[in-house]
Amino acid sequence: MKYNVRMASAKKYRVKVRLKIRNRIFRNTGFALSAFAAAAVLAYCCFSAARFAAARFPGHFFVFTFKSLSVDSPSEDISAEISRRFNPKLRGTFSPGEAAEFAAGLKKSYPALSRVEVSRNFISGRVRVRAEAEKIVAKVRLNGGETFYLSENGRLLREYCGPGPEDSFETEIYAGPAAGLGPFAVFLRELKTMTPDFFSRPVRLEYRLTGPADGGYCRLTLENSALVLWGELEFTKTKISRLNEVLGDAARRINGPLKVDFRYFRDGKVFVSKLAGI
């Protein structure tokens, strides 16, 4: 059997707020909104005033009294130079504009620095200078002449600060001083970490930046006098493994130094021959 159950609808009651209480709620809400609006306007005015003052007087806004100095740098010479430049300013005022000017000037004097930060503590009056050095990949000879230092981002530096690179083989670069050597720096850093994996260790690396179309010309001379035409600056680990196989096999069949050509490695081809005059 089917039963239809009809539920009695609940009776709804509407709560009426007394007029006096309702007016009080409206009044309190109005006060809160007015206070919030006033605070917002005041904050905006202060911010606008600060922006105007900073733009109108960029070197003198937020000036504070310079009482002490803290230095963190990669070398004693740079630390001494920072102290020398700051000593005349002790007990005087020091502004954000002066801080920015000092950081730019120090980087210009020491191109081997990658970053210079100057921060100020308004409570203690301490100025902290933190200088960081470029990370060096290798010491290289440029165009067969002057020695430079190749940084991780491909910059050629005449000097470096901080710990020097550990070079297990010579590196020669034939390119302009402002050449884009970023990809080569990445490759060289990777290659140096894998030097122990070679069947015969590298003793000399030559890189010629002939143009962006072919990515440069790279060749490696090994301790056993073998010459490796490296080709693209890619597949480093795979090429080393293949090179070890080739050298071990070819040494039993070919007398004398070998030439290994990896320039067609991407196509799966490796050419091995007896080294002749190149």
Domain range annotation of the chain:
64-133, 136-274
Read off the pLDDT band of 104 (50, 70, 90). Answer: very high
Rg from Cα positions in the chain:
35
pLDDT score, position 144: 85
Query: Is 50 exceeded by the pLDDT of residue 49?
Result: no
CATH topology of domain 64-133: Ubiquitin-like (UB roll) (3.10.20)
d(CA 253, CA 248): 10
d(CA 256, CA 250): 10
Q: Cβ atoms within 10 A of the Cβ of 204, count? A: 14
216, 233 Cβ separation under 8 angstroms: yes
Q: The CATH number of 136-274 is which of 3.40.50.11690, 3.20.10.10, 3.30.70.20, 3.30.43.10? A: 3.40.50.11690
| Range name among 61-70, 110-119, 159-168, 172-181 with the lowest pLDDT average | 61-70
pLDDT score, position 48: 52
Domains 64-133 and 136-274 share a fold: no
Residue 65, burial from CB neighbour count under 10 angstroms (0-12, 13-18, 19+)? exposed
Token pair for 22: 């309702």
Q: Compute the Cα dihedral for 263, 266, 269, 272 and give only its sign.
A: positive
Give the contacts of 89 (CB within 8 A, at least 6 positions apart): 66, 98
Which residues make beta-bridge pairs with 272?
260
pLDDT score, position 258: 86
Read off the pLDDT band of 60 (50, 70, 90). Answer: very low
Read off the pLDDT band of 3 (50, 70, 90). Answer: very low
* Among the listed residues 68, 131, 55, the one whose alpha carbon sits nearest the alpha carbon of residue 94: 68
